[in-house]
Amino acid sequence: MLQRRTFMMTCSAMGLAGTLFPGVLWAQAQAEGAKKITKEMIDNAAAIAGVPISDEFKEMMLSDLNEQDKGYDEIYKLHIPNSVAPALLFDPVLPGMKFETVRKPLRMSKAPSVAVPNNTEDLAFASVRELAELVRTKKVSSLALTEMYLRRLKKYDPTLKFVVTLTEERALTQAKKADAEIAAGKYHGPLHGLPWGAKDLLATKGYRTTWGAGGFEDQTIDEDATVVKRLDDAGAVLVAKLTLGALALGDVWFGGITRNPWNSGQGSSGSSAGPASATSAGCVAFSIGSETLGSISSPSTRCGCTGLRPTFGLVPRTGAMALSWSMDKLGPICRTVEDCALVLEAIYGPDGHDRTVHSAAFNWDANLEWKNLRIGYLKAAFEPKPAQPQEPAKQEPPKTHDEQAKAEDQKKRQDALQARAEYDRKYNDAALAKLREMGVNLIPVEFPKFPYDAIRVMLTAEAAAAFDELTRTGKDKLLTSQKDYDWPNTFRTARFIPAVEYIQAARARTLVMEAMAKVFDGVDVIVVPTNGSDQLTITNLTGHPAVILPNGFRGPDAPKFPFDDPSDFQNAGGPDTPTSLTFLGKLYGEAELLAFARAYQEATGFHLKHPKMISGR
């Protein structure tokens, strides 16, 4: 078989290493089981890659391309595990940036007055802050809460499909230990004794860690992720490994589709599908999700939760499945903003393993004077989009029946998305009005213009590298969902991304970071619609933190999506479903960001409403 090192060296010498040509030619030779490259193969690869090569160069290339030598295929034989990061580190911090490094004592809100119910089930939707006070004062035991949440997980999982594995034995042991420690005066803090759920990409010793993916159903990793260890140290009680869309995409996993508690005919979105669904349904006190490009934001929106995507490099990812080393973040999905702050307090900071984590301090102060903060808003994103001029219809040849059906399907989708966006505008307008009523002087800001979709190729390339062996062995066929936007097709397509273009995208990303730093020079927090703008892509590329929180509920007149398939990612909205709003913060500015988001949440109260099918309210 051909050796890849010589092959690639020859391509490089010809000035072709940064084009599609090497990958196309190599794949062609491998597919044909060739013992040598032929001129015809070079012609075919050159045509696909759009690289003009004259006949004299083809002849020159043949002898070198067919030399035998050790090559890149030797790297394949290493079978590099997903946990090994490349020797390249992304750092969102630009030269001259400063952030707080001195840790200060946690300053929570005033202890709430919570009546002890006759039925523990009545605490299912209580906040972390409320549950913490009940457990601290020994009015409710950790064991009682744990047993209650385990019952609810078992009761609602058949409908919502948010559990991969119940960690019942571990949970009951932890709960009893928590009660004993608290009784002995060894209180660990506000998470002590509180049951939580982990997205099943966090390694947990003694239990399987499936990544939600077919082919990995029985995978075990003999360690606890750093976040799991830290929550253990905080006295929290892990009750379940919760679902994620296969390899962190969407809400379709090997066991089915995780559902939205507000409308079980819809998926819960993803990829933190189980954490958002279980938290929304009152089946855990809080959960841990992850985001690379919307995986906390999207399910928090769909399920009406409060989600925090921390700054890149604040929470260590050791023991978590890697999708994109330069974009993955871990963060809490909760019922309130302060809940997110209390969970973040327990999990952030360097662990000596994840080399991207800075020694930044997160100093939560529930009484921070948020009125001193400068608040921007993405003005253009809140304004109605101008109607696009209609171009005269072009004369096209008659479509086949399948083509016509596909075109009609696409038209229905576009109309439905447009109708939803127009309907939801009033919630964004109401948010701005409420902020002004709170006395906020909203400063209009604009985000820089860059080819963000092109820069996002970095995520695709890194994800394909993270699961390279899955693609090369053909085991990607085991993944449940095989649509054009699912990972199997994306990973295969990524084989054609030139190395030079990946580096160019990284350089463009630096320009975006510098431009966004200038935007944040004038403001501390930026208010943006969760959907309908580039903010999600931009801030995941730059590493800025975001809080996503409920922002009202659609009425009975809300437009419904025209297709009922719960696995359809666009199947969202409709009557009685939540909308959301997003607040963006400075790098490592979570304390100020969360303080402002909490003020808005307290002023609106949308977080106090729960799904009717679960709560009966």
Take residue 516 and report the two structure tokens written for it: 């966004």
The residues assigned a catalytic role are: 199, 271, 295
CA dist 195 to 148, 209, 491, Å?
10, 19, 36
CA 448 to chain centre: 23
Take residue 414 and report the two structure tokens written for it: 């576009």
The whole-angstrom separation of Cα 14 and Cα 578 is 56
- At 160 the pLDDT is 98
- At 553 the pLDDT is 98
pLDDT band at residue 66 using 50, 70 and 90 as cut-offs: low
CA 249 to chain centre: 9
Choice between 592 and 62, residue whose per-residue pLDDT is larger = 592
Count CB atoms within 10 A of the CB of residue 564: 10
Amino acid at 541: L
- At 154 the pLDDT is 98
Amino acid at 252: V
Choice between 40 and 451, residue whose per-residue pLDDT is larger = 451
- At 143 the pLDDT is 98
Q: Count Cβ neighbours within 10 Å for each residue of 13-47 and write b for 16 or more, e otherwise.
A: ebebbbbbbbbbbbebbeeeeeeebbeebbeebbe
Task: Tell me the average pLDDT across 205-215.
Answer: 97
The whole-angstrom separation of Cα 194 and Cα 143 is 9
Residue position matching structure tokens 């982990």: 198
The whole-angstrom separation of Cα 361 and Cα 157 is 38
pLDDT band at residue 30 using 50, 70 and 90 as cut-offs: low
Express each pLDDT in 283-316 by its tens digit. Answer: 999 999 999 999 999 999 999 999 999 999 999 9
pTM over 0.85: yes
| Burial label, 62 (beta-carbon count in 10 A; 0-12, 13-18, 19+) | middle
H or E segment at 173?
A: helix 168-183
Take residue 118 and report the two structure tokens written for it: 């006759």
Task: Tell me the average pLDDT across 7-18.
Answer: 48
Residue position matching structure tokens 């991207």: 356
Alpha carbon dihedral 397, 403, 408, 413, in 10-degree steps, equals -130
Q: Does domain 123-370+590-615 have CATH number 3.40.190.10?
A: no
As a whole-number percent, the residues of the chain with pLDDT over 70 amount to: 87
Amino acid at 452: Y
- At 24 the pLDDT is 59
- At 324 the pLDDT is 98
Minimal CA–CA distance to 329: which of 219, 227, 244, 205? Answer: 227
